[in-house]
Structure 1
Amino acid sequence: MTAPARLRTSDQPTERGLESGVVARGETETLRVALASSVGGGTIERLSSQLGELGFRTEVVDDFSAEEWRKQMGSGFLGRVLARLRAYIGYPLSVVEHAVRSDEPTVWIVTTNPFYLPFVLTLTRPIHGNAIVALVWDLFPDAIEVATGRSDTGIVGALATRMNQYWFKHADALVFIGRRMADHACGRYGSPLVSDIIETGADANELEPTRLLAGAPESELERWVEGRVVASYVGNMGLMHDVDTLRDAALRIDKRGTAERLGFVVAASGPGVEDLKAGWGELSTERARFEPPLGDRPWARLLARTHISIVTLRTSARHTSIPSKAMSAMAAGSAILAVAPRDSDLADVVLRHGCGEVIEPGMSTGSSTCSSASLRMTNFSPGTVALREARSRSTTISVC
């Protein structure tokens, strides 16, 4: 028997859901929705809550909380390997077991975390008999192709491609989080039966700056950022993310001796962090500070104290990844400095909402196109409901 995944349920539809007409009285017993992702919290919990408000009975089946995952990713190479083995092997088996043991029809909303979870649930549907809606957060082998710089990733890549083609064709529906990602994925793996694009977002209530900025500093980090113009990078800094442009821009700023109050905070894990530490070796601790991945509260409080949130994406990952950290930063009121190709979903979000500046990867020291790159933020007002409460910023920092 597999190790049990974590399970949380909401067994009763809310009055709002009943009154809205989405769910009719007397019919709610059959409308159970299960949400599966190896890492819970954040988007999954919010989606579960919102479905509950519409009247559906929901359950979340995950293996790690977001905070537990951040802790594992910051625990060193061995810790990361063990966590990924648990997420990639034990967790999918436990989800299948849970689906098979369920004694009532269920709609499974299955994320690509891990990447082949939609394939596993779709392949085993003859056993469990439930509907499958795949929530496409990222793509594999696309990600490994970006990481290795190779379009031919051998047997593993070919197998992953076949898996994707199967669940793209046989899942009941697919939801993508960006138009460019959707176009790329459907062009490569085939058109699904039903699909839609629902951009990722963030809960503005969780990141409301006025509340998070209230009170005295709660940590040495918060004392450090006081009085500074803070440019922060939070979350994963992996193989999808451009490190070189950020490294060179910070070194150039420091060498010029301008922007004396500007301080960089990197609270992240992943291979890019070590590369950045090595590249920023000459920067003083007054200019740049590295932190391990933060827990939920210190993470939110850092975002609320951040003037410029840095989000990076390698050119080769432009249709493969959409960093959700950008949405969280916008909800917290930060201006976005996106180091990303113009033809990426990340750039589309920043430019559409006028909430930051997009800089092409490579616009760094020695680049002929670098001289005009700057970040100019004045009274940005994101227009979506999820971002409406974001604070305005007014910041000008030349990055090249």
Structure 2
Amino acid sequence: MARILVLTELFYPEKTSTAYFLTTIAQGLVTDYPVTVFTGASLYDSQASSLAQNTVVKEVEIHRCRGTTFNKNWLPGRLVNGCTRAISIFFTALWQCHASDVILVVTNPPLLPLMAWLLKTLKGCNFVLLVHDVYPEVLSVTGLAHSQSLVYRLMQEVNRLIYGQASRIITLGRDMQKLVETKLTQPVEGKLICIPNWAETEIIYPVDKQNNSLLQRLNLVDKFVVLYAGNMGRTHDLKILLDAAETLSDTQPQIHFLLIGAGAQKQDVEARVQDQHLPNVTVLSYLPHEQKNVTLNSCDVGIISFLPGMTGVSVPSRMYNQMAAGKPLIAIADNESELAQVIQEEGIGWLVSPQDDDQLVKLLTQIMNDSELCNDMGHKAAQAVLCKYQLKHAVSKYQSLFRELIPHNNISSPVDTK
């Protein structure tokens, strides 16, 4: 009897965006099909050693596979983690996979989709590819691999093979769908499906800035606060924020940058703020998950910044939560990106060219005293989420996709947890 097998490096109870989205998708699909997840040992959870190797959570069967657990912000360690965990997931799934099963595999780490293709080759099962980041393009943007290098070209050919063998390919944005389409040597109608991520509307909603406990604690309630909340990874342009802050520190001290998160660039950001004595920048670690609404409401405007060339390579899931908090957005991104398209279509913010800190300074100076405009855009953002970017919208599309792939008479009962 058919099952859905999910291959992902990160899963419940971790709080990363990948873990959250894959967990929620699995729990949405288990209403129709039995779902079994093959994942790695926790890289983030403080109680990782206490997690059961095999367990069932909300009817989803979870198998935790072995693998290294080096610091993810140390690049060599991250590469080793990705390889060891992908291989471990493959061998664990190999013994349980059947031809009637359908695999859902995410692109991170980049070796994992190759494991799904091997399972298809050896067991005859189909697989669905969920694209979170497009490889090898993301390596080129971040300077980790030149587009003419052997590694880049090899990854390009391997990914063309994987894309060709996938039964369906799910992209998170229209720009990503266009990029992935260029990798298909034989385009197939209906193979590419765009399913955007969603906002956590059950815990995130607009709250008046004056009542924000974080801003009260930081004495920032009376400032015009620009919030960057999320991963401070290699694909994000944080330099533009610090350059703008340096320019504005004397001319517009009313504007304050609040940076909350973690990632490969965080130490460099903290070092520059300290070395240059930037009084208008505050850098914090993630607040606990239960305070996520406090975090996203601690501003007048949210900001998401990417390096140039990221169109189609990645779609920031954080934008939906920031929208749900009823805050306008500044996108530092290419004009063709999904982020830019959503902001323009919904009328919920502004676009700034990547690495153009002068443009960012001018924009912030213009809008800092226009609370009516900011409030109007924030209201539109929250309404757009309720209309288009809720969990129920995404789950419905995932369910429809798998109903096409799994015949009705080949469905078994979900896992019995009693």
TM bin (shorter chain)? 0.7 to 0.9
Query: Please, which of 50, 61, 69 is the counterpart of residue 28 of structure 2?
Result: 50
> Which residue in the other structure is 2:55 paired with?
none
Deviates more, 1:337-346 or 1:248-257: 248-257
| Superposed CA RMSD | 3.4
Residues 73 and 270 of structure 1 are in contact (CA less than 8 Å); yes or no, is this contact kept in structure 2?
A: no
Whether 1:236 and 2:236 are equivalent positions in the alignment is no
Whether 1:198 and 2:175 are equivalent positions in the alignment is no
Secondary structure of the corresponding residue to residue 309 of structure 2: helix
Residues 165 and 189 of structure 1 are in contact (CA less than 8 Å); yes or no, is this contact kept in structure 2?
A: yes
> Which residue in the other structure is 1:62 paired with?
39
Secondary structure of the corresponding residue to residue 114 of structure 1: coil
> Which residue in the other structure is 2:165 paired with?
170
1:342–1:216 Cα change, 3 Å:
closer
Q: CA deviation at 1:297?
A: 2.4
Query: Please, which of 91, 100, 107 is the counterpart of residue 97 of structure 1?
Result: 91
* Unaligned 5+ runs, structure 1: 1-29, 390-400
> Which residue in the other structure is 2:380 paired with?
381
1:216–1:289 Cα change, 3 Å:
closer
Q: TM-score, normalised by structure 1?
A: 0.75
Query: 1:107 is matched by which residue type in structure 2?
Result: V
Residues 224 and 299 of structure 2 are in contact (CA less than 8 Å); yes or no, is this contact kept in structure 1?
A: yes
Q: Deviations over 1:358-377 (max 9, x none)?
A: 11113323x6x974675552
Residues 40 and 89 of structure 2 are in contact (CA less than 8 Å); yes or no, is this contact kept in structure 1?
A: no
Q: CA deviation at 1:167?
A: 0.7
Query: 1:185 is matched by which residue type in structure 2?
Result: V
Aligned residues: 348
Residues 163 and 183 of structure 2 are in contact (CA less than 8 Å); yes or no, is this contact kept in structure 1?
A: no
Give the distance between the partners of 1:187 and 1:225, measured in 2 at CA: 50
> Which residue in the other structure is 2:316 paired with?
323
Query: 2:357 is matched by which residue type in structure 1?
Result: S
Residues 174 and 192 of structure 1 are in contact (CA less than 8 Å); yes or no, is this contact kept in structure 2?
A: no
Query: 1:99 is matched by which residue type in structure 2?
Result: A
1:163–1:288 Cα change, 3 Å:
same
Give the distance between the partners of 1:76 and 1:58, measured in 2 at CA: 28
1:351-362 equivalences under 5 Å are 351-362=344-355
1:254–1:103 Cα change, 3 Å:
closer
Query: 2:196 is matched by which residue type in structure 1?
Result: E
Q: CA deviation at 1:77?
A: 5.1
> Which residue in the other structure is 1:18 paired with?
none
Q: CA deviation at 1:45?
A: 1.6
Q: Deviations over 1:162-202 (max 9, x none)?
A: 11110111111101111112212221453554111112222
Give the distance between the partners of 1:209 and 1:75, measured in 2 at CA: 35
Query: 1:344 is matched by which residue type in structure 2?
Result: S
Residues 186 and 192 of structure 1 are in contact (CA less than 8 Å); yes or no, is this contact kept in structure 2?
A: yes
1:31–1:124 Cα change, 3 Å:
closer
Give the distance between the partners of 2:174 and 2:291, measured in 1 at CA: 32
1:235–1:322 Cα change, 3 Å:
same
Give the distance between the partners of 2:250 and 2:307, measured in 1 at CA: 25
* Unaligned 5+ runs, structure 2: 12-18, 49-67, 368-372, 391-418
Q: TM-score, normalised by structure 2?
A: 0.72
Q: Deviations over 1:296-340 (max 9, x none)?
A: 224443113333222111112223122222122112333211111
Residues 4 and 102 of structure 2 are in contact (CA less than 8 Å); yes or no, is this contact kept in structure 1?
A: yes
1:68–1:74 Cα change, 3 Å:
farther
Give the distance between the partners of 2:103 and 2:139, measured in 1 at CA: 27
Q: Deviations over 1:13-51 (max 9, x none)?
A: xxxxxxxxxxxxxxxxx3422222212231112212222
Residues 36 and 108 of structure 1 are in contact (CA less than 8 Å); yes or no, is this contact kept in structure 2?
A: yes
Q: CA deviation at 1:341?
A: 1.5
Whether 1:35 and 2:6 are equivalent positions in the alignment is yes
Provide the identity percentage.
20
Q: CA deviation at 1:145?
A: 0.9
Q: CA deviation at 1:348?
A: 0.9
1:1-400 equivalences under 5 Å are 30-40=1-11, 41-53=19-31, 55-63=32-40, 67-68=44-45, 78=74, 81-86=76-81, 88-102=82-96, 104=98, 105-148=100-143, 151-191=146-186, 193=188, 194-209=191-206, 217=213, 223-224=217-218, 227=221, 228-258=223-253, 260=254, 262-281=255-274, 282-285=276-279, 287-365=280-358, 371=362, 374-375=366-367, 376-379=373-376, 380-382=379-381, 383-385=384-386
Give the distance between the partners of 1:66 and 1:265, measured in 2 at CA: 26
1:314–1:47 Cα change, 3 Å:
same
Residues 331 and 387 of structure 1 are in contact (CA less than 8 Å); yes or no, is this contact kept in structure 2?
A: no
1:183–1:358 Cα change, 3 Å:
same
Higher relative contact order (Cα pairs below 8 Å, separated by 6+ residues): 2
Q: CA deviation at 1:355?
A: 2.1
Residues 206 and 325 of structure 2 are in contact (CA less than 8 Å); yes or no, is this contact kept in structure 1?
A: yes
Residues 244 and 357 of structure 2 are in contact (CA less than 8 Å); yes or no, is this contact kept in structure 1?
A: yes
Residues 136 and 174 of structure 1 are in contact (CA less than 8 Å); yes or no, is this contact kept in structure 2?
A: yes
Q: CA deviation at 1:387?
A: 6.2
